[in-house]
Amino acid sequence: MERTPSIRTMYRILEENQEVRERRNQLRHPNYKKPELLATAPNQVWSWDITKLKGPVKWTYYYLYVILDIFSRYVVGWMVARREKSALARKLIERSCEKQGIQQNQLIVHADRGPGMTSKPVALLLADLGGDQEPFKALRQQ
C-alpha cells in the first residue's frame, strides 16, 4: 500500500523545486512618476485650491478660493464665497489671467482632483485659453 504525503509535505517538495507560484492573475501597477512642475519665472505655473472656512455661526461655512504663483509665492487671485461652485472658480481664473496679462501657451495651472478643479466650466476655460484640451497648451491643468 502506497502512502500519500501530506499536503504540506507536497507543497514543501514543490517549493524546493520552484514549482509553486500564485495561480491567479495579479494586477501589475505601472510605476507612477510624481509630476514635477518647475517654474523659472513668474506666471509660468500657478497652483490653486479651495478651502472650507468656519463661519461665525454654527453650521455656517465659507469657501476661500486661492491661486498662487509657485515661483514667487505671490497670491495672483483669491475670493471668498458662500458655496463651492465651478462657475465661481472659472470667474476667478479668468479675472486672474486678465489681471496678470497671461498669453496663450504661457501658463500651467496645477490643482488637486477636487470637484471644483475638475468641473466642466473650469475645463472649458482652460481649453479656451489653450485652444486645445489634450493637453492644455496655453493653460494646462496638472
The reply to whether 21 falls in a domain is no
Q: Render each residue's pLDDT in the chain as its tens digit; 142 residues.
A: 688 889 999 999 999 998 888 777 778 888 878 777 888 999 999 988 899 999 999 999 999 999 999 999 999 999 999 998 888 888 998 899 999 998 877 888 887 766 655 566 666 666 666 533 333 333 444 4
Any domain includes 4: no
**Residues 44, 68: Cα–Cα separation, whole Å:** 11
The predicted pLDDT at position 73 comes to 94
Cα-based distances in Å from 138 to 43, 66, 92: 12, 20, 17
Count structural domains, the chain: 1
Look at residue 35 and tell me if it is in a domain: no
**Domain coverage including residue 65:** 45-141
Count other C-beta atoms under 10 Å from residue 27's C-beta.
Answer: 4
Answer whether 0.85 is exceeded by the pTM: no
Residue 115 lies in a domain: yes
CATH of the domain at 102: 3.30.420.10
Contact 137, 131 (CB under 8 A): yes
